[in-house]
Structure 1
Amino acid sequence: MASRVENESSFDAILDRLAQGLSLEDKTIANKAGADIFKNNLKKATPKSDTVYKHGTPHLRDAIVEEVAPTGRVEVGFSAESERGHIARFQNDGWVATDRNGKRHKQVPGKHFWEKAEIESKGKIGEVVKKSLERSIQRKVGR
């Protein structure tokens, strides 16, 4: 049985690198990989009308963006510039139709495309983030 560690200095260096934890760049890369999966599934699930809008107004599907926060968090949603977020909410959740006199009519059902994209992405996001973090750890270990 060995009484000492071979290559002790390189082993200590590996432990020091692992003790530093993941860098902000590693976290961002992992989160972006997961966000890309959700963004692609959301794009597929989002309805697109045949209407050609005036003044270059984008369709919901074309207004989906990713935003990277300084903390490494990556959020997927609809761009503020497109002003389509509230339309997406109505389309997703549904609404109660009212006339110009304020009289309530029927409930217009939502399409729930956001939830469909979440369900479609659920296991895949975790797997992609896990692989990305494993690559980061392997790089820190030096393999």
Structure 2
Amino acid sequence: MGNSNGVNSIGHEESFEGVLTRLAEGLTLEDRKRANKAGADIFAAELKAKTPRSDRIYHDGTPHIQDAVLVITEPSGRVDVGYSDESKRGYIARFQNDGWIATDRNGYSHKHVPGKHFWEEAEAASKDRIQEAIRQSLEDAFARKVSDK
């Protein structure tokens, strides 16, 4: 680094400034969507694996809770993981996860049925992999910004 008059300088300064400008502009909406989706896909797979599956065979097209897990990417870049509205299984998953107080047909409360806490187990089991997927996605986004001309 340096030139003939003894002043230190960065070669290809315009190119370097362009890279810094692109990095300073931050992430695009597509970059955020890609990063959020990378993490959500990992969580959804773990949630599906941890969600209990009944032995019941549904003949009317009703899916098992496990088969109702879905990932939705919002236009804002937010990515939601949950159970599909069409399946009408989300409320059952909530009971299974959190537990409930059993009542009889007369409305009398009986024992508390403990929850299985599969949602929390899926979060804990996938946390590190989610963070790594998001980090890798963001790293790729910044690498693209650096290589853009």
Percent identity of equivalent pairs: 58
1:78-89 matched pairs, under 5 angstroms:
78-89=83-94
- Cα root mean square deviation, aligned: 1.2
Q: State which of 42, 49, 55 in structure 1 corresponds to 2:54.
A: 49
Per-residue deviation, 1:54:
3.3
Aligned length: 143
Q: Deviations over 1:70-104 (max 9, x none)?
A: 11111100011111110000000111110111111
CA distance in 1, matches of 2:30, 2:99: 39
SS at match of 2:110: strand
4+ residue runs of structure 1 moved beyond 6 angstroms? none
Q: Give the counterpart letter for 1:33 in structure 2.
A: A
**Residue aligning to 1:9:** 14
**Residue aligning to 1:135:** 140
Unaligned ranges ≥5, structure 1:
none
Q: Give the counterpart letter for 1:63 in structure 2.
A: A
| TM-score where L is the length of structure 2 | 0.92
| TM-score where L is the length of structure 1 | 0.96
**Residue aligning to 2:30:** 25
